Structure formats: C-alpha cells, structure tokens
Amino acid sequence: MRALIQRVSQAEVVIDKSESRKTGQGYLILLGIENADTQEDVEWLSAKISKLRLFDDMDGVMNKSILEIDGEIMIISQFTLHAKTRKGNRPSYIHAAKPDVAIPLYEAFKKQMAKDLGKEIVSGEFGAHMDVTLTNDGPVTIWIDTKNKE
C-alpha cells in the first residue's frame, strides 16, 4: 500500500464533474493499493499517518500530529502510485490491485482512518473521474510504502 500525503490548508475533489467535496486544514492522501496488500497494511498505514508530526508547534517546528490540530483528511484512490516506468515510455500498472481487491481495502482504509482520527473523513470515489485541487501547505509531501517501512 502506498500513500502520498500532502499537508494542505484546503482540498477539494469534484467527482464526474458534478459532486464536490471539500476539506480544510489537514491531509490530502493519495492511496495506491497493490495485490499483496492486506488488512495489516491498512491498520499500520492508518496508525502511522494519524501519528505523523507534520504540523507546526508554537516554535514553528513540525511537532504536532493531525490529531493534535484536529485536522481533516481527504483520501483519493490513486492506482498510478504503483506505476512501473523502468521499460519504455508507457507506465505499467501490473502491481496495482484490480477493483475486486482494491475496493474492499480502500473502504477498509477509509473506515480505519476515520476511527484513528476520531471523526469522518472526506474521500473521492473509487474508479470515478476526479478533479482534485489543493493548497499544499509548506509545501509538505511525504511518501509511505507499507512494503518499505522507512
């Protein structure tokens, strides 16, 4: 499972050019799911993200978690995070999970993140065309891969 986490002052997703969902200060999480991912990946990643200290304290040091600032989270499914670009110019997505695997894990991650955050999260819609806009605060962008826990 891969997550690209962006600290944002605001984010918005427009689904199929009609429905708009918005958040304020917090994280925009682009989530990629691969065939080898399990519920263990869901739980580890959610716990890690909820405890990351990416928000400034009174001294301007990134020392506060999203829980401490009562921030919001938007989660967007993003199979292209598993792109393989080694050969040729057309990325391969062979390791990205198909919907029958990815959708249940995406839904489980949203549920776990809401539980760990202690409030509802905002999300896109799996498989839909989405226009995502955000204001990256900092900028701060963090990459996490549950198969390579650095």
Q: Which residues are catalytic?
A: 80
Closest CA to 34 of 73, 74, 83: 83
**Neighbouring residues of 111: CB distance < 8 A, sequence distance ≥ 6:** none
Please report the pLDDT score of residue 150 as a whole number.
Answer: 67
Instruction: State which residues of the chain have pLDDT below 70.
Output: 150
**What is the model's pLDDT at position 140?**
97
* pLDDT of res. 15: 97
